[in-house]
């Protein structure tokens, strides 16, 4: 629409201003009713929104490649993007890249689902019950502050060097963001809405399903988004426990062999995995919160 107005205003006209303004409104209204013209007006800003987030990464990668090509960035310190792609191609030909990605994906999926489900259950329990809040919340907050690295020796002593300690670390990293956001979201529901639901004859389960859950859903989904990022970060720690496969093992092996290109490749893989996980969660968020005015406006734009 903004592209139509300057073009129309630039045309010379001897008509009175009111007539010109009316003609502008008529053209815009016609564009809104004309499917082809209206679609073209909506498509331009939509394309910009899709391309804009990729502008800065493309520029940075281009500068990285340029300075590497002219020798300003030594290959031993920061290999060029082309070298990173070449390392990915070599590992993919051997089958190592696909294997490590699938192993890490399996670990983070199992750990995240376990931790997020536990966090949801505890969050609902503590958020809905004052007794459970007094009994569990303080202990869970104390466990939350323990660094994951401090638990690695205990995990090895308790579970050995199998898959259990890695998955358990990812589950612990995913549990607390979901728990905190779920509990806070439930306890932050407006009491007036609960009283309104009771006045309409809703029982405990009806209040939870019709009032509490919709009101707490935005912070719950925010906690899930954050937990996905923490899950991938925790996986880096988990795969340092005598691992023989996975992206973390790829980093450890590359460090011993001084393969900076492979280390950068692993960093890129973690970044892509985190971006994909966040994008999927945001799509689910928009789907579940279509009734919310803020999300409805974002979807309409």
Model pLDDT for residues 208-250, shown as the tens digit of each residue: 888 888 888 889 999 999 998 889 888 887 887 767 888 888 8
Cα gap 294→218, rounded to integer Å: 11
Cα gap 83→95, rounded to integer Å: 18
Q: Which two tokens stand for residue 12?
A: 């010379």
Contact 87, 100 (CB under 8 A): no
User: Which one has a higher pLDDT value, 64 or 300?
Assistant: 64
Residue 39: pLDDT above 50?
Answer: no
For residue 43, give the nearest of 54, 60, 31 by alpha carbon: 31
pTM given for the model: 0.74
Evaluate whether the domain defined by 81-300 bears CATH number 1.10.510.10: no
pLDDT score recorded for residue 30: 47
- Per-residue model confidence as pLDDT tens digits over 176-196: 999 999 999 998 888 888 788
Residue 294: pLDDT above 70?
Answer: no
Cα gap 247→263, rounded to integer Å: 9
Q: 17: pLDDT confidence band, cut at 50, 70 and 90?
A: very low
Q: Any idea where the domains of the chain sit in the sequence?
A: 4-54, 81-300
Mean of the per-residue pLDDT values for the chain?
Answer: 78
Mean pLDDT, rounded, for 94-111: 91
| Cα-Cα-Cα-Cα dihedral sign, residues 223, 227, 229, 233 | positive
Q: Which two tokens stand for residue 153?
A: 């020796």
Residue 246 CB-density burial (10 A; 0-12 exposed, 13-18 middle, 19+ buried): buried
Residue 281: pLDDT above 80?
Answer: yes
Mean pLDDT, rounded, for 36-44: 48
Contact 178, 115 (CB under 8 A): yes
């Amino acid at each position: 629409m903004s592209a139509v107005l300057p073009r129309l205003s630039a045309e010379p006209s001897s008509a009175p201003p009111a007539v010109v303004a009316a003609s502008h409104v008529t053209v815009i209204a016609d564009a809104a009713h004309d499917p082809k013209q209206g679609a073209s007006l909506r498509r331009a800003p939509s394309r910009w929104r899709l391309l804009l987030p990729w502008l800065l990464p493309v520029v940075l990668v281009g500068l990285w490649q340029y300075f590497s090509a002219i020798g300003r960035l030594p290959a031993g310190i920061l290999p060029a993007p082309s070298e990173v792609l070449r390392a990915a191609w070599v590992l993919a030909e051997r089958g190592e890249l696909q294997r490590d990605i699938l192993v890490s994906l399996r670990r983070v999926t199992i750990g995240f689902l376990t931790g997020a489900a536990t966090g949801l259950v505890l969050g609902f329990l503590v958020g809905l019950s004052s007794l459970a809040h007094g009994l569990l919340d303080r202990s869970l907050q104390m466990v939350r502050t323990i660094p994951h690295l401090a638990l690695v020796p205990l995990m090895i002593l308790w579970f050995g060097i199998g898959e259990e300690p890695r998955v358990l670390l990812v589950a612990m990293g995913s549990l607390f963001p979901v728990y905190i956001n779920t509990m806070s979201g439930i306890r932050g529901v407006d009491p007036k809405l609960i009283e309104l639901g009771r006045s309409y004859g809703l029982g405990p389960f009806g209040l939870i399903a019709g009032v509490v859950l919709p009101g707490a859903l935005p912070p719950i989904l925010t906690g899930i988004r954050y937990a996905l990022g923490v899950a991938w970060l925790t996986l880096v720690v988990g795969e340092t426990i005598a691992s023989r496969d996975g992206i973390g093992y790829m980093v450890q092996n590359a460090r011993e062999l001084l393969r900076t290109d492979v280390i950068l490749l692993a960093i890129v893989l973690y970044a892509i995995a985190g971006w994909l996980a966040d994008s999927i969660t945001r799509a689910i968020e928009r789907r579940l919160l279509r009734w919310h005015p803020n999300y409805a406006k974002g979807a309409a734009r």
